């Protein structure tokens, strides 16, 4: 075990002051994020968001988790409908990714334009040609700081091989073709 002093030293930039939100965000730019969209609601009462926080939690039972900002337009829909879709984006889905950041001003159902969607078993929307589409019911929502850790129970899995993947690294979306 390293001496306590070495642990405290951390890295070259470590100091007494706790890292700020901006420093944490800058550090996070170096991690590769797996880009997917979470979608919830129905008809005009729909929204969705791009996330890099969605990941598997356990295989048996099949559970996943995602961290969703409670101030987003999608969080209340996930809570009210009790289900959501998790679509893993493929290499060709940059336009979908950008619309679901909301940065261009598209809101709620407008984000669904320009792509095909299906209604999954729970009624949640899934991107038709997603690399993987997973239909979930909400198992638990755990509030921490600005976000909820949403634990989802997997109800249906649709896979579409050959779509590649979409990642986010150093502030940009990048398609990984097979
Ligand atoms: C690459 C990337 C990853 C993101 N990951 C998350 C995430 O894991 N959880 C989250 O709440 N917001 C995340 N966001 C932000 C949401 O996509 C964005 O705040 C949301 O679409 C805004 O929705 P609203 O206009 O409905 O509030 C991410 C944004 C980007 C660009």
* pLDDT tens per residue, range 57-69: 999 999 999 999 9
Report CA-CA distances (Å) from 164 to 14, 158, 177: 38, 15, 5
pLDDT(15) > 70? no
The predicted-structure confidence for 20-42, as pLDDT tens digits, reads as follows 999 999 999 999 999 999 999 99
**Where are the chain's structural domains?**
33-169
DSSP state of 65: E
Query: Is 47's C-beta closer than 6 angstroms to any atom of ligand 1?
Result: yes
The CA distance from 20 to 32, in Å, is 21
Query: Is 67's C-beta closer than 6 angstroms to any atom of ligand 1?
Result: yes
Give the whole-number percent of the chain exceeding pLDDT 90. Answer: 90
Burial of 134 (0-12, 13-18, 19+ CB in 10 A): buried
First-to-last C-alpha distance (Å) of the chain? 42
Indicate which residue's Cα is closest to atom 18 of ligand 1: 101
- Distance in Å, CA 164 to ligand 1 centroid: 22
Pick the CATH number of 33-169 from 2.30.110.10, 3.40.50.300, 1.10.10.10, 3.30.379.10: 2.30.110.10
Query: Is 75's C-beta closer than 6 angstroms to any atom of ligand 1?
Result: no
Name the pTM for this structure. 0.92
Query: Is 94's C-beta closer than 6 angstroms to any atom of ligand 1?
Result: no
> What's residue 2's pLDDT?
46
């Amino acid at each position: 075990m390293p001496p306590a002093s070495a642990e405290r030293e951390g890295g070259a930039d470590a100091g007494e002051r706790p890292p700020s939100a901006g420093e944490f965000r800058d550090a996070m730019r170096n991690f590769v994020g797996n880009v997917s969209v979470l979608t919830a609601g129905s008809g005009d009462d729909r929204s969705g968001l791009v996330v890099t926080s969605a990941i598997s939690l356990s295989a048996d039972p099949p559970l996943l988790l995602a961290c969703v900002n409670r101030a987003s337009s999608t969080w209340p829909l996930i809570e009210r409908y009790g289900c959501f879709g998790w679509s893993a984006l493929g290499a060709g889905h940059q336009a979908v990714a950008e619309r679901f950041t909301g940065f261009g001003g598209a809101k709620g159902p407008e984000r669904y334009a320009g792509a095909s969607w299906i209604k999954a078993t729970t009624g949640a929307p899934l991107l038709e040609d997603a690399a993987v589409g997973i239909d979930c019911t909400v198992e638990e929502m755990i509030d921490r700081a600005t976000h909820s850790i949403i634990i989802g129970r997997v109800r249906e899995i649709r896979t579409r091989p050959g779509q590649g993947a979409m990642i986010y690294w150093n502030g940009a979306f990048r398609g990984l073709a097979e």
